[in-house]
Structures are given as C-alpha cells and as structure tokens.
Structure 1
C-alpha cells in the first residue's frame, strides 16, 4: 500500500496569518489535503477537493458568497484527476472514493471519476438529500457537484472500536486496512478515514479540526479566522468539540502512534508531502 498526499485546491482568504498562522501578507493559504492510496483493489481517493467542472464553470457549482469569502483559486493542475494522470495512472484506475463529508471543497471532483464507488456515512448522504435548507446548508452542499454520482455505499456507525472511537470496518470492496471513523459535529455525517500502513495508523480527520495546533499539544490553539469558520459551519457544537478533544488526546498518545492530518492546514500538508514527521 502506497499513499500519495495531494493538494486538490487552494483558498487564499483575506486575513493572512489570521487564518493560516504564518502568512506575512494580506492573504492566507489554505489547501484541500486529499489522499491517493494504491491498493490491490485499485486506486482509492480520500476526498477529491475541487474538480475539473468547478474550474471550467465554477458557478453555480460553487457558492458565490463562499467563493468570495475564501478567495478560492481554481487551478486545473490541482484537480485530483490531473494529479493522478501526472502520476502515470488513468482516472479509470480510481475504483473507490471515501468521502469525509460532502462539502463543496471535498466533493467537487466526484464526477471526474464516474466509474468509482463513493463511500460515506449514511447520515451524511441523508443530510445532503433532506436538510439543504438555510444559508449554510444551501451553500455548503452543491447538487451540481454530485448529481451524477450513482454508485453510493453508505454506512452506519458500529461498535467495533478504533482507539475508543466507533469505526466502520469492511467497506465494500476495499481492503480491511481502510476504516471510516464517524466524527460528527462539523456536519451530521462527518467522518475521518483511518488507514493502517506499515508505518502505523494514518488518520485523515477531514474537518474535525482545521489547524495544526488543535492537536498534538495539550492545550488547543487555533487562529481566529479558522476558529470563527469552524463555529460558522458546525451543526452540533458539543459533538464537534468533544470529538476534537478525543482526537487531541489520541494525537498525544505515543503508544497509539497515530499520525493525524486535517483537510486544510498547509503546514501539515507540506510535512506529509516532504516526508517529515508530524510530532507532538
């Protein structure tokens, strides 16, 4: 099993370090951290970031208010499909996509892989289908990004635990090393994706946290911009913060040895892409 770290989208919100904690200028730098996993069952994508159709015709696939707020930079070379081609694969080699949730910056590339089966929690797909009311819900879930997906596989939380978390094991057609970890709060069906690698467990926590210092240290630290964005987007604050607390504790458990990443922190992405360790 080999894992490739991909940045499948760039956002540059006005505020600089208020968002990313390091930019010197007026604009911040957030990314869409996706994974491409080579398995015996074919290629598996974890999230897709923005897709080709988002780049070529962004509206109404994307929300104009969110595009302006995040200052989204749409680049064809950053789409998952183009990066997969540069690695020497065909888009048809992507047999499965595991989605942390269906927000516009995670699901925009689903239709670039029409032959892939899409795996997610049942709660996430049902929320997308039945609860798209109100400003946030209408703008986060964009039907044009997913309305051509036909091969959905949905899952309910199970009691078969993973370091104290509920876990969905045996995803249809996927190797047993890939698990879905329900982490509701950011959305009702939000989940992380855990991968058992030869170097230990890797957890893609999606949007369960947004900033590198929310984990791997005993006291949570988050930039004002990302703290506000998380609050704006949450559907269940108590669950979101409780799950974040549990992730923080797991990240500090050296015996567990779980490497942890989120979807949007550029420093985490650079460390993974450069082969550097993420340590407490």
Structure 2
C-alpha cells in the first residue's frame, strides 16, 4: 500500500470562546473555527480521519451566529459526514477504515454511520470516553468495529498514528507520507493553532503537562521528517490551504 494524496473535507464550523484557543485571553469573544475531516486515498482504497459533528446538531439553514455558549456547533445537514463523504465520491462502506483522532463532539460525532468499518482509536481514549458523560453519546457508540491501539502505531505504509494525549486522554495525531505532496503532519487537536504549537500558547485540554509533552514529541517528528504541518482549528490555515477537490 502507498498513500497517493490527502484532502481536507470541510465539515461545518464551531463557534468557541477565544479562551479555548488561548487561555491567556479574556473570555467573551466567539471565534468561528473550521471543522475538518481528512480523506486519505491509497493504492488500496480510501481512509477517513474523523467523522465531524453529530447530524443531530444540524439545522436546515444557518441564521445569525449564536451569541451564547463557550462552544457552539454551527452546521447544516450538508456538513454531516455521510454528505461530506458523498461529495468526495464515497459511501461509508467504501472505506478501508476510519482513524479516530479523539472522541470530542466535533471529531467523532458521525462514528455511528460506519457500522461495518474498522475504527482505529487509542485505548486510552476509548477507556476514558466509555465511562464519562463528558463525551456525547454519539461519540461513544457501543458495538462498532473498534480497533484499539496503544501508543505510536504504523497503520499502513505511509500512515503513522502518533499518540499525543493531553487535549483528551487518548488523542492521536497523524503523519502521512504522500506520493503526490510528500510528508504531511496533521496535529488535529494536539495543537489547535500555529501559536499553540510554535509559541507554547496554552489552550483547552485535560492535562497541560501532557499537552506540552505531546507537542514536544511532534516537534521531534517535524525535526526528523520535515513535513508540512496542518493544525486542527487554525483559522488562517483554513482560509489558505486547499480543500477538496484539491489535495494538500
């Protein structure tokens, strides 16, 4: 197997208080963040990273931006993962697997749409989510084909899962070696933004010490591999990097 290319799949938005991205900022200003899934096309078939927000959060038409709440989903039914995937020409059963970075509502809300697909998740994330109501029910659905892994793991040639806990108990980032574009590191939520990653700006998570250690681990990967780096919810990157149908 070889990785041909990877695509950014837009999957709606989430309005969050600016203090979620930067804990040194005063609460009270909402920031509109992009939500992503990532499509990996390999020589043996497609893989998907993350399944976006639950379709139950969707509305038919977006109105004015909500003003209340620290974290507010903002999506239409077209932003639900089955529709997102269909725009790229695939149905859930076409996938070789789903890679689940972590089980927060904006990353695992569509997991139930993949009942026949292996879902690779860190055991630490699975164990934490299955006993905690802090994770939405849509993100911890029992009985799916979960493949539990522990630590750094090579899923396939060119697809390396990197254990990066801290934002959540069992978060993982993904390093891809693509034939078309070379190496690409998806931090996902191990670093929301470039400032979190490069400048140590603190952001939301369950364990600040683990966050710092995970970023240090990713910086070692960057030093060794020299990939392009895409951050999980960086507004500037979201406005400038190509999205489907253009590959990264």
Global fold match (TM > 0.5): yes
User: Could you tell me how far apart the structure 2 residues matched to 1:207 and 1:13 are?
Assistant: 14
Contact 2:8/2:247 (<8 A) preserved: no
User: Structure 1 residue runs of 4+, over 6 Å off?
Assistant: none
Q: Does 1:265 align with 2:234?
A: yes
CA offset at residue 106 of structure 1?
0.7
Contact 2:108/2:138 (<8 A) preserved: no
Q: Does 1:243 align with 2:201?
A: no
User: Could you tell me how far apart the structure 2 residues matched to 1:194 and 1:184 are?
Assistant: 16
Distance 1:95 1:212, change over 3 A: same
Q: Does 1:168 align with 2:168?
A: no
Contact 1:33/1:262 (<8 A) preserved: no
CA RMSD for the aligned pairs? 2.8
Contact 1:51/1:108 (<8 A) preserved: yes
Match of residue 62 from structure 2: none
Match of residue 108 from structure 1: 109
Distance 1:129 1:81, change over 3 A: same
Contact 2:92/2:117 (<8 A) preserved: no
- Choose the corresponding residue for 2:7, options 4, 8, 14: 4
CA offset at residue 168 of structure 1?
0.6
CA offset at residue 276 of structure 1?
10
CA offset at residue 84 of structure 1?
1.7
User: Could you tell me how far apart the structure 2 residues matched to 1:176 and 1:245 are?
Assistant: 24
Per-residue CA shift, 1:172-231, capped at 9, x if unaligned?
A: xxx32111100111122111111111232212112111112333x5xx064xxxx4xx34
User: Could you tell me how far apart the structure 2 residues matched to 1:87 and 1:156 are?
Assistant: 31
CA offset at residue 90 of structure 1?
2.4
Unaligned runs of 5+ in 1: 20-25, 57-66, 133-137, 158-166
Contact 1:212/1:267 (<8 A) preserved: no
Contact 1:5/1:269 (<8 A) preserved: no
- Choose the corresponding residue for 2:188, options 206, 216, 232: 206
Distance 1:179 1:248, change over 3 A: closer
Per-residue CA shift, 1:249-270, capped at 9, x if unaligned?
A: 654x3x6321112221122233
Distance 1:122 1:145, change over 3 A: closer
| Matches for 1:1-280 after TM superposition, within 5 Å | 1-13=4-16, 27-55=30-58, 68-130=69-131, 132=132, 138-139=133-134, 141-157=135-151, 167-169=152-154, 171=155, 175-198=156-179, 199-215=181-197, 217=198, 220=199, 222=201, 227=202, 230-231=203-204, 234-248=205-219, 250-251=221-222, 253=223, 256-273=225-242
User: Could you tell me how far apart the structure 2 residues matched to 1:113 and 1:156 are?
Assistant: 22
Which protein is richer in strand relative to its size? 2
- Number of equivalenced pairs: 228
Which protein is richer in helix relative to its size? 1
Matched residue of 1:242: which SS? helix
